[in-house]
Structure 1
Amino acid sequence: MDAVVHTSLESFDAVAHDRLAADPVRNTVALTSLDRIRRLPGEPTPTLITFHDNGEVIGSLVRTPPWPFQTADLPLAAVELAVKIAVEVDPEAPGVTGPRERSEAFATATGKDFTESLTTRLYRLGTLAPPVAEGSGRLATEDDVELLVAWRHAFLKEAVPEAPAGPTAEAMRGSLRLGNGHALWEINGTPVAWAVASLPHAGMTRVGPVYTPPEHRKHGYGAAVTAMVTQWALDQGATAVLLFTDLSNPISNSIYQRIGYQPLDDWAEFWWKR
């Protein structure tokens, strides 16, 4: 087995994109994050490594700064080699995320002290069952950027305290320009919940984040705005609509199942102790 470190996204795409796109559910994070870089010039340079056996690509390892390595496409047989190369080419990486068995194997193989920062479950939409909730939804525009940035920061602070600083206003405008669906649920014109769905890629859309400020929780607004943005994704042609939930939050896990999402796989995120 050997590995290739790619110095450009074009080089990586030539050997790995079709492989990732053939399983867009498992590779949802890599596909959406690399699509953003592909369509938004000026994004940070990703770390891109492919693994080969007898000339055949058998896996890949991706990192889009400032986030951790993504191991969804990393075979367990390549973990030791992946860690060796990753330490050499990207020593600033803060951690690793992916399906639990793969991400935990990678974290353990580094020999670093680490903490499990987030345990999530990947869900896929079955049949959408929109809930009944007070209020109505609309798609956000650039006039809402200040609110979206504030809520994104609040979401990260609550869900992943170890995460790097949240997006700037320009980054949020970039997401809107990419065509991602940002939905707001409102009561009498006041936004009370927010959900985002990526523009479909390889037939796959991922919903997230979903955020309801604490003062507006327990009224069904989060479920309503999630159902709204899910329908938006279906209308855009998505055939696989996915989302991640925090396993430490049983309420959100039950809510998403009630509106039609079905559990697929458990993921874990590990960050190195500084």
Structure 2
Amino acid sequence: MDPMDAVVHVTLESFDAATHERLTADPVRNTVALTSLDRIRRSPATEEAPILITFHDRGEVVGSLVRTPPWPFQAADLPLDAVELAVSVAGRVDPDAPGVTGPRERSEAFATATGKECRETLATRQYRLTTLAPPAVEGTSRMATEDDVELLVAWREAFVAEAVPEAPPAPAADAMRTSLRLGQGHALWVIDGTPVAWAAASLPQAGMTRIGPVYTPPAHRRRGYGAAVSAAATQWALGQGAADVLLFADLTNPTSNSIYQQIGYEPLDDWAEFWWKH
């Protein structure tokens, strides 16, 4: 008899009690779950209820699977020997999930085990800051305020349309105001009073902060503004006490991967996202 079993948690409090020590012990790998669940804790009224599953081996928690609708399952903490069980339970409690994301080996194993026809929609590389090296670029940085919501919403929508076109629509204005109200960092790079690039940074969780999205409108690209605003957001995160500052770069974009390394980030792991075909 297989000793592995799964528990579907009906409250975030129950899930936290089972997984807090486990997830915070490795905040780099569990960055997406930690930041997305923190957002729900801070503003539960604006978020859909998450899907929260833990896996147990002889009573000990050995992994978890999280989904914060409308996004795919997050498989960073999914043990490979629990994949078949995870697919079975997830299919029962959340049949409308659109896909899965996480470190490539884990997300690909989950996607394959579903037996569904899927496509890889995103291949990224996870980076972690070593020593920040801000570039010498014309302009200055400032942190965004409520007055910048309209601009940030437009840029976020442009970023999603370009980088994650399969993403479901979201109430961008409300989400952006909530993000600012909760104290998340939104850095702008400014030339002669005009913002030309944007980078967001999450509040530290277990000493970890993640940078992203990073967006420069096409008219302002190839001038170093993306690197500069990423460095500014990184500096903000360090000022908030972050020990691990992370970001993800699209592997199909060699420019961004090079830029992040130039300002002090080192590659850690490759992630992949798969969405089911309908």
TM-score w.r.t. length of structure 1: 0.99
Q: Among 208, 212, 217, which residue is 2:216 paired with? A: 212
Q: Among 135, 138, 143, which residue is 1:134 paired with? A: 138
Q: 1:191–1:166: structure 2 CA closer, same or farther, 3 Å change rule?
A: farther
Structure 2 unaligned runs (5+)? none
What secondary structure sits across from 2:126 in the alignment?
strand
State the aligned residue count: 274
Does 2:17 correspond to 1:14?
A: yes
Q: CA deviation at 1:170?
A: 1.2
Q: CA deviation at 1:178?
A: 1.3
- In 2, Cα distance between equivalents of 1:230 and 1:203: 13
> Where does residue 29 of structure 2 map in the other structure?
26
- In 1, Cα distance between equivalents of 2:126 and 2:171: 23
What secondary structure sits across from 1:106 in the alignment?
helix
TM-score w.r.t. length of structure 2: 0.98
What secondary structure sits across from 2:272 in the alignment?
strand
Q: Which amino acid aligns with 2:269?
A: D
CA RMSD of aligned residues (A): 0.6
Does 2:169 correspond to 1:161?
A: no
Does 2:37 correspond to 1:51?
A: no
What secondary structure sits across from 1:4 in the alignment?
strand
> Where does residue 263 of structure 1 map in the other structure?
267
Structure 1 unaligned runs (5+)? none
Q: CA deviation at 1:167?
A: 4.0
Q: Among 57, 63, 70, which residue is 1:66 paired with? A: 70
Deviations 1:49-97 (A, max 9, x none): 0000011000000000010000000000000000000011001110000
> Where does residue 172 of structure 1 map in the other structure?
176
Q: Which amino acid aligns with 2:19?
A: A
> Where does residue 38 of structure 2 map in the other structure?
35
> Where does residue 125 of structure 1 map in the other structure?
129
Q: CA deviation at 1:168?
A: 2.1
Deviations 1:125-177 (A, max 9, x none): 00000001111110000110011111111101100111111442111111111
Q: CA deviation at 1:15?
A: 0.5
What secondary structure sits across from 2:44 in the alignment?
coil
- In 2, Cα distance between equivalents of 1:116 and 1:32: 23
Aligned partners of 1:69 and 1:97 also within 8 Å: yes
Q: Which amino acid aligns with 2:227?
A: A
Identity %: 78
> Where does residue 198 of structure 1 map in the other structure?
202
